[in-house]
A and B are shown apart, each in its own frame.
Chain A
Amino acid sequence: MSASTEELKDQHGGRGGREGSSATDRLKASLTPPTTPGPSGPGRSPARRRIIGGVAAVAGVVALALLPLLNIQLPGILPTATYQPGALQLMALCLLMGAAALTYHLLIGVAGLLSFGHALYVGAGAYVLGILLERTGMGLIPAMLLTLLVVVILANVTGAVALRVSGIPFAMVTLAFAQAGSVLVRRNPDGATGGEEGLSLNTEQVPAFLVGVSNTRNLYWLALAVLIIVFAIVSWIQNSRAGHLAEAVRENENRVRVLGLKPYLAKLLIFVVGGTLAGCVGMVHLLLQSGAVPRTVSADFTITLLVMVVLGGVGSRWGAVVGGVLYTLLDQRLTVLAQSEAIQSMPALLRVPLSEPLFLLGTLFVLVVLFMPGGLAGFVRRLSARSGRGRPGKDPVTVLEQAE
């Protein structure tokens, strides 16, 4: 099975955009990041590159894990020194959003599924856990496991229905499901979700080391652990047979069907794994923010995830993480900047746009889409190709893939 999909990918390596194809075909084709050749593809000593990439990744993780113990000042980027709660809170949020973007990458980058309802699972994780802790007096771990079960069932049911259609209709069904969830949360049934106010975390059952400002660094490490675990699972899924099958489906669903494989199951698996991981991110988000707000279930949040993934570069795992971190950092820092003396004293013509972070981020996003196809990952890829690290004839994609 693996061999046949591999062969299939090679045959269909190019981007789509064939004449006379249907809109959904074109949509899928344009969604598709360039395919990567297998390990036997061109490139010099992939094994060595993989080792270098692995070492760099481990070094990066160790550096991130040590940050709460160090006193590093990054004025303009972080509000306080790295060992203080203010900076730790922000960094933890950045890492979590990186993980959330990564789960969305699994849908859009691997399976080519444009979902507008991914926020539903993040929100479900946060709200279900919050309600269980509030209402049942369960311990944190059993409550988390039960929440996980709920999210898995939710993702299975909604995914099974939504995947009956593809392309834009799929996007709309997922949007509609998320909208239903969002309405439910705002409706505040039986006072369970807190409506617009949101739900605040009941800390009775949460272990003491995860509660309170002084323990922010534990939450930071928890967020880092979530990011690493999500990254590992996403990489594993992407390199598994099911992942290859999903990639093949993204390229050409009919061929997969002709080969006797089941596109539906592969897509459903990716959808459920993505949704479940998003639910886990949602649970930790609840702990980190000491509460859940309706925004985590809204279509806006899914669009935020989409923006993160596209900023980072569709199809790249590192890109998704960097996009998530960068977006969150910019969003927070631009809000602070908006209140600064320098901006507030400007004439209204400059002050109004500059004090709206989303205006700046939206504009940045439009510019990236227009002038930087492939996002940050694509930019890095082109840079490294230009700086001569890629020999002529070498597929630039492999450089990045092997760096992972």
Chain B
Amino acid sequence: MDTILLLLVTGIGLGAVYFLVASGLSLIYGLMGVLNFAHGAFLTLGALIGWETARVMGADSWGGFALSLLVGCLVGALLAALTEFVLIRPLYERHIEQVLVTVGLNLAAIALFEGIWGTDPVFIQGPTWMGMTTNILGAQVPNHLFITILIAGLVLAGMVLFLKRTRYGMIIRAGVENRSMVTALGIDVRRAFTLVFTIGGAAAGIGGVLASHYFGYVSPLLGGSLLIFAFIVTVIGGLGSLAGAAVASVLVGVLQQFANYFWSIGDFVVVILLAVVLLTRPSGLMGRKVATA
């Protein structure tokens, strides 16, 4: 029982990290039709600079941790906004080129990070409390998982509020539904593009800092492996659906933990889940119906 509970909580924690990466990917794809390969670079830079900040401030202080989250968020948002402005904007309506540009940016950025920080993982630590465990019904649950889940929950709530309650949120939702209609109504969707990228980058930056605490290290290669799973989560949840991304991240995270523990085949199970979902529901669990051309 305690093992199952522990697996469940670690799974949800992993799902929380996936969600922070996948939510931005999903929104960006939904609105702009761009599969953003550079998302891993946003995440990695957020994690690396977040860790540098925490180290300067004192890695085991709460202030340092909070500041590293804030800095990670800002760095991710800034890099994402810059990417959208400099690289994506000149290529509007040319989706494949946009994807290619993000692929190139990811290659270049990760190589640059490797040049600056080296390829070896740097083991990190947070506030002492986060390194300890709490006993819940017999399961020793690491405390950092609570923080990760809490923050991902807050980000989800914030995104939902933003999308439902603000004018820009409404434009983004409308744009995901039917972009030509929004444009025809005289609304400049392009500003929403930058906004979506910034929000996605910010979430990825936070995700990067939390992922480094989840895995216990930072490295320029942190983003690469997470990105593939985030893609899978995004597709399973349905491209463009925030709720889908949330459900699918938790589903994938929990499934991966259980399959890894009992049969050590977590990664295969995720791949099989993706194949099954796509073959039975090509638009994902909660996606709009993708035009079946």
Is chain B's binding surface mostly helix, strand, loop or mixed? helix
Q: Judging by beta carbons under 8 Å apart, are A165 and B282 in contact? A: yes
Bound together, the chains give a CA A176 to CA B232 distance in angstroms of 7
Which residue of the partner chain A has the closest CB to B32?
A23
Query: Which of A19, A25, A303 has most B Cβ within 10 Å?
Result: A303
A167 touches B293 (CB 8 A): yes
Residue among B90, B91, B271 with most chain A CB within 10 A: B271
Contact between B35 and A168, CB atoms less than 8 A apart: yes
Query: Chain A interface secondary structure, helix, strand, loop or mixed?
Result: helix
User: Is residue B186 within 8 Å, beta carbon to beta carbon, of the partner chain?
Assistant: no
Is B1 among interface residues, defined by CB-CB distance under 8 A?
no
* Cross-chain contact B239 with A168 (CB below 8 angstroms): yes
A359-B111, A362-B106 known; A179-B235 Cβ under 8 A: no
Q: Contact mask A306-345 → B, CB, 8 Å, 1/0?
A: 1100100000000000000000000000000000000000
Mask, A16-47, CB within 8 Å of B = 1, is 01011011111110110000000000000000
Q: How far is the CA of A353 from the CA of B290 in the complex (A)?
A: 41
Given contacts A26-B33, A180-B268, A352-B115, A161 and B275 within 8 Å (CB-CB): yes
In Å, the complex CA distance between A82 and B268 comes to 46
Q: Are A183 and B90 in contact (CB under 8 A)?
A: no
Point out the residue from B97, B115, B180, B231 that lies within 8 Å of A353, measured CB to CB. Answer: B115
| B240 CB, min distance to chain A CBs, angstroms | 9
A362 and B94: CB pair below 8 A? Answer: no
Pairwise interchain contact A179-B228, C-beta atoms closer than 8 A: yes
Contacts of A300 in B (CB 8 A): 224
Number of interface residues of B (CB under 8 A): 45
Q: Which of A30, A166, A172, A357 meets B95, CB within 8 Å? A: A30
Most chain-A Cβ atoms within 10 A of its Cβ — which of B231, B270, B293? B293
Instruction: Tell me the count of chain A residues lying within 8 A, CB to CB, of chain B.
Output: 54
> What is the distance, in angstroms, from A377's C-beta to the closest C-beta of chain B?
15
Find chain B residues with CB under 8 A from A175 CB.
Answer: 228, 231
Counting chain A CB atoms within 10 Å of each CB, the highest count among B101, B228, B268 belongs to: B228
Task: State A353–B112 Cα separation when bound (angstroms).
Answer: 6
B110, CB-defined interface residue at 8 Å:
yes
Contact (Cβ within 8 A) B278 A370: no
* A169 at the binding interface (Cβ < 8 Å): yes
Q: Verify if B139 is at the interface (C-beta below 8 Å from A).
A: no
Closest residue to A357 on the B side, CB-wise? B111
Tell me which residues across on chain A come within 8 A of B96, comparing CB atoms.
27, 30-31, 114
| Interface membership of chain B positions 80-110, coded 1 if the CB is closer than 8 angstroms to chain A and 0 otherwise | 0000000100110111110011011111111
List residues of B (98-141) whose CB comes within 8 Å of A's CBs: 100-101, 103-112, 114-116
Known: A169-B235, A173-B278, A370-B101. A359 touches B35 (CB 8 A): no
CA distance A147 to B282 in the complex (A): 33
Hey, what's the 0/1 contact readout for A344-364 against B, CB within 8 Å counting as 1? Answer: 000000001101111111110
**A48 proximal to B (CB < 8 A):** no
Q: A255-301: which residues lie under 8 A (CB-CB) from chain B?
A: 299-300
- CB within 8 Å of B: which A79-132 residues: 114
Q: 4 closest A-B pairs (Cβ-Cβ)?
A: A362-B108, A22-B291, A362-B107, A358-B111
Chain B residues engaging chain A, CB cutoff 8 angstroms:
29, 33, 35, 87, 90-91, 93-97, 100-101, 103-112, 114-116, 180, 224, 228, 231-232, 235, 239, 267-268, 270-271, 274-275, 278-279, 282, 290-291, 293
